[in-house]
Amino acid sequence: IRRVTVPQIARRKGGEPIVSLTSYHAHTAAIVDEVADFILVGDSLGMVMHGMESTLGVSLDLMIMHGRAVVRGTKKALIVVDLPFGSYEESPAEAFRNAARIMKETGCGAVKLEGGRRMAETVRFLTERGIPVMAHIGLTPQSTNVMGGFRTQGRDEESWPLHEEDARAVAEAGAFAIVLEGMVEPLARRITGQVAVPTIGIGASAACDGQVLVLEDMLGLNPWTPKFVKVYGQLGAMIKQAVEEYAAEVRSRAFPGEDNVYR
């Protein structure tokens, strides 16, 4: 089966909302593949898979390792892999070199990078050379040290024009979609109305052309989730119950039982 293509995602502007989730693991990605238009291998894997405190420590090798697992586990969705902090900001040439490595070694269909106006030149450089780029603006976790934490963007109306310019700059530079993270609804609505490519919201309201969530967050695998996450499953509680039952049965010698023994 042919995968969802970048132009197919781009053409969904203003149409049926685009569905996306993150995946970092082959077998869960196979389940997500049945419902998602694109799957994001995001650098949030540093936190949700590896216990890091931020995304800043995530390496290119780690992104490639998880990207390969997700490509192997899927066959329908477009796979988009994040460029990690420190792998693309210095120059368009550096961004191309590392994005090309990601594409060659994982087989993914596109990359994502954080930044608006300041990244427009890089978005154009990559797109013109065969690498589709999804941009990511608003709350950009790789800039958390500059911003002084995770802050919802656009609470002050005076800041709106800068965010709108960010969106226009990356759209005009060739980004095929733009993630809007952590911004107030009226700003997300304005940006979505101003750019010709789909906006994908995370903490940015239903005004966007699509939505993405971190799978582990919406499955209840994290002890805490921000307000913008809706928890659709309680996997953390299910795992706890399962391992407790296993431990009790090992201790009582109820496991392995008749069904699990070679005679």
Q: Per CB under 6 A, which region of 42-50, 59-67, 124-132, 153-161 contacts ligand KIV? A: 42-50
List 6, 21, 38, 43, residue binding ligand KIV (CB under 6 A): 43
Q: Give the whole-angstrom CA distance, residue 25 versus residue 28.
A: 6
The answer to whether residue 42 forms part of the interface with Na ion (CB under 5 A) is yes
* 43 labeled binding residue: yes
Range 43-102, binding Na ion (CB under 5 A): 43, 82
Assess whether the previous peptide bond of 256 is cis (omega < 30° from 0).
yes
The answer to whether residue 214 forms part of the interface with ligand KIV (CB under 6 A) is yes
Site track 241-260 with Na ion (rule: CB under 5 A), x = hit: --------------------
Kind and range of the H or E element at 41? strand 38-41
The answer to whether residue 106 forms part of the interface with ligand KIV (CB under 6 A) is no
Q: Give the whole-angstrom CA distance, residue 30 versus residue 49.
A: 17
Minimum CB distance to Na ion, residue 47 (Å)? 10
Q: Give the whole-angstrom CA distance, residue 185 versus residue 205.
A: 5
181 is catalytic: yes
Residue 255 phi, psi dihedral angles, 5° rounding: -125, 135
The answer to whether residue 192 forms part of the interface with ligand KIV (CB under 6 A) is no
Q: Give the whole-angstrom CA distance, residue 174 versus residue 134.
A: 9
Q: Residue 9 in contact with residue 112, Cβ under 8 Å?
A: no
Q: Residue 77 in contact with residue 38, Cβ under 8 Å?
A: yes
Nearer residue to ligand KIV within complex by CB, 42 or 67: 42
Q: What is the DSSP string of 158-209?
A: GGHHHHHHHHHHHHHTT-SEEEEESB-HHHHHHHHHH-SS-EEEESS-TTSS
Minimum CB distance to ligand KIV, residue 114 (Å)? 8
The answer to whether residue 181 forms part of the interface with Na ion (CB under 5 A) is no
The answer to whether residue 82 forms part of the interface with ligand KIV (CB under 6 A) is yes
Nearer residue to ligand KIV within complex by CB, 40 or 188: 40
The answer to whether residue 209 forms part of the interface with ligand KIV (CB under 6 A) is no
Q: Give the whole-angstrom CA distance, residue 120 versus residue 139.
A: 17
Q: Give the whole-angstrom CA distance, residue 202 versus residue 95.
A: 24
Length of the chain: 263
Q: Which of 181, 244, 245, 258 is catalytic?
A: 181
List 64, 99, 108, 202, residue binding ligand KIV (CB under 6 A): 202
Range 57-76, binding ligand KIV (CB under 6 A): none
Residues that bind ligand KIV (CB under 6 A): 22, 40, 42-44, 82, 136, 179, 181, 202, 212, 214
Residues annotated as part of the active site = 181
